[in-house]
């Protein structure tokens, strides 16, 4: 158990819909990272938050948005969903920044868009 | 753009054989991390290398960071079925983006 909690674990929805994925970082971790993993693909970095503020941005689509709340949990919002958005979405957390130590990954949220 | 390339993409080895995966960056990395993802699981941190030419060992796993800090390798001696999974390297890129390689998927043949 990494201490990072992601909900929901599985989500099936239709094209055009909007979903919200939630992540609770490990106790004490200030940084939250979101990654997308498609079938047979690596981990695509989407976005990082540190203590409530956006820290770094990867190849995140404009249809996607995220935020980190004062209690440090984070939400990833995916809108106008397309079939290609079907993937496993991981949240990870760390004490500070990536460069200072390991990332702790949650178990992921598997999104299926039909 | 900045990339982290991992080779090979897939590797099948007989149980007991050695295995090596290589990670190459187009730019110098301040550090590199390695993660393992079991089938159906989530990535789990293995190690972080920071110094040029650094070598670290964890039982049967040996990790190296190149002198130029642009490449790294993970070597597993005498593989076991528990080594099955995908091994990722990751490093901080420009603009603080975290870049993961596509991973090397290791299959162990009994």
DSSP secondary-structure letter at B40?
Answer: T
Query: Taking the C-alpha atoms of A66, A70, A71 and A74 in order, what is their torsion angle to the nearest 10 degrees?
Result: 0
Determine what percent of chain A is predicted with pLDDT higher than 90.
Answer: 82
Determine what percent of chain B is predicted with pLDDT higher than 90.
Answer: 80
Q: Give per-residue pLDDT as tens, B41-78.
A: 999 999 999 999 999 999 999 999 999 999 999 999 99
At residue A1, does pLDDT exceed 90? no
CB contact, 8 Å: B88 with chain A? yes
Name the residue of chain A whose CA is nearest to B102's CA.
A42
Range picked from A94-108, B33-47, B89-103 for highest mean pLDDT: B33-47
Q: pLDDT tier at A3 (50, 70, 90 boundaries)?
A: very high
**Residue in B28, B58, B29 with CA at minimum distance from that of residue B45:** B58
**What sign has the CA pseudo-torsion A73, A32, A64, A12?**
negative
CB contact, 8 Å: A33 with chain B? yes
At residue B86, does pLDDT exceed 70? yes
What is the H or E stretch that residue B66 is in? none
SS3 per-residue string spanning chain A: CCCCEEECCEEEECCCCCEEEEEECCCCCCEEEEEEECCCCCCEEEEEEECCEEEEECCCCCCEEEEECCCCCEEEEECCCCHHHCEEEEEEEECCCHHHCCCEECCCEEEEEC
Which chain B positions have a beta carbon within 8 Å of A106's beta carbon?
Answer: 42
Q: Give per-residue pLDDT as tens, A47-88.
A: 999 999 998 888 899 999 999 999 999 999 999 999 999 999
Q: What is the pLDDT of residue A62?
A: 96
Residue with the larger pLDDT of the pair A47 and A97:
A47
Instruction: Verify whether the Cβ–Cβ distance B101 to A106 is below 8 Å.
Output: no
Give the helix ranges, DSSP H, for B27-72.
Answer: none
């Amino acid at each position: 158990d990494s201490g990072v909690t992601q909900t929901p674990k599985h989500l099936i929805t239709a094209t055009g819909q909007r979903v919200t994925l939630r992540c609770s970082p490990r106790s004490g971790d200030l940084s939250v990272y979101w990654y997308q993993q498609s079938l047979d693909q690596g981990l695509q970095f989407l976005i990082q938050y540190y203590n409530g503020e956006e820290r770094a941005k990867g190849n995140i689509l404009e249809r996607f948005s995220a935020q980190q709340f004062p209690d440090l949990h984070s939400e990833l919002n995916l809108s106008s969903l397309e079939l290609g958005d079907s993937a496993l979405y991981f949240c990870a957390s760390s004490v500070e920044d990536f460069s200072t130590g390991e990332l702790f990954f949650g178990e992921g949220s598997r999104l299926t868009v039909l | 753009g900045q990339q982290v390339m991992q080779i090979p993409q897939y590797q099948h080895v007989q149980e007991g054989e050695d295995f090596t995966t290589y990670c190459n960056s187009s730019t110098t990395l301040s550090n590199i991390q390695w993660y393992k993802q079991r089938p159906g699981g989530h990535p789990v941190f293995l190690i972080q290398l920071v110094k040029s030419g650094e070598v670290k060992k964890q039982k049967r796993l040996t990790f190296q960071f190149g002198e130029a800090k642009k490449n790294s390798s993970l070597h597993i001696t005498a593989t076991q079925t528990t080594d099955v999974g995908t091994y990722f390297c990751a490093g901080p890129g420009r603009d603080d983006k975290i870049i993961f390689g596509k991973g090397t998927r290791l299959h162990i043949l009994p």
